[in-house]
Amino acid sequence: MSRVVRSKLSPMASELSPGFLVAAPVLLDPNFRRSVVLLVDHREEGSLGFVINRPGDVPLSDVVDAIGLQIPDAGLPPAQVVVGGPVAPETGWVVFEPGQEDEGASEVVRVSERMAVTASRELLVDLLERRRPGRLLVALGYAGWGPGQLDAEIAQGAWIPVGLDEEIVFETPPEDRWTAALGSLGIDPARLAAVPPGELS
């Protein structure tokens, strides 16, 4: 796990974040095709998010072993591991349901009332070893955009902004999150397939 870099995760200042970015069918980049990105920070300096619907090919037990924790598989809480994006895939981030003990913690960034993000190894240890109540997701790597890049991609129709729904992150199966996120806007994905680039808003 990497330490949070405060310039990457800081208080949100955008109508887009927190929220989802849903890849439009015209977005064919293999890193993001049919992806749902949990956008946690969007500002003039750049944007940061995590793909939440691409399951990783390693179980949580392997992640735990890789960072040197000694927790038996039977002692691990249920948690998903996803490929959070193509940037820094060697880093780990935890999207979790915070408790009162996390209030004011400098290594924790609140995304919403029921969701927070951290890259703190110590907090992951606390979440796992104490089996704290609450839901969590481990993302390997992240998705990042430079100044103005994400706004340009949205204007080109590559992404559809969608309001945040914690249940999609924690409860909806990964393979259903793209459809569920679009469905929250009343969009039928099948009707989007024929829309050419630049005509999605």
Which of 34-38, 49-53, 101-105, 147-151 is least confident? 101-105
Query: What pLDDT band is residue 75 in, cutting at 50, 70 and 90?
Result: low
pLDDT one-digit tens code per residue, 122-149: 888 888 876 666 788 999 999 999 999 9
Q: Which residue has the higher pLDDT, 10 or 30?
A: 30
Three-class secondary structure of residue 55 per DSSP: strand
Residue 83 lies in a domain: yes
Residue 197 lies in a domain: no
Which run of H or of E encompasses 161? Answer: strand 159-163
Residue 50 lies in a domain: yes
Query: What pLDDT band is residue 82 in, cutting at 50, 70 and 90?
Result: very high
Give all strands (DSSP E) within 10-158, no chain letters.
19-23, 36-43, 46-51, 80-83, 87-96, 108-112, 115-118, 136-145
CATH of the domain at 136: 3.40.1740.10
- Report angle CA 176, 29, 82 to the nearest 5 degrees: 45
Residue 199 lies in a domain: no
Q: Could you tell me the residue range of the domain that residue 80 belongs to?
A: 19-192
| Partner residues linked to 20 by β-bridges | 38, 162
Structural domains in the chain (count): 1
Q: Looking at residue 79, what is its pLDDT?
A: 79
Residue 3 lies in a domain: no
Distance separating alpha carbons of residues 188 and 184, to the nearest angstrom: 10
Residue 184 lies in a domain: yes
* Percent of the chain residues topping a pLDDT of 70: 84
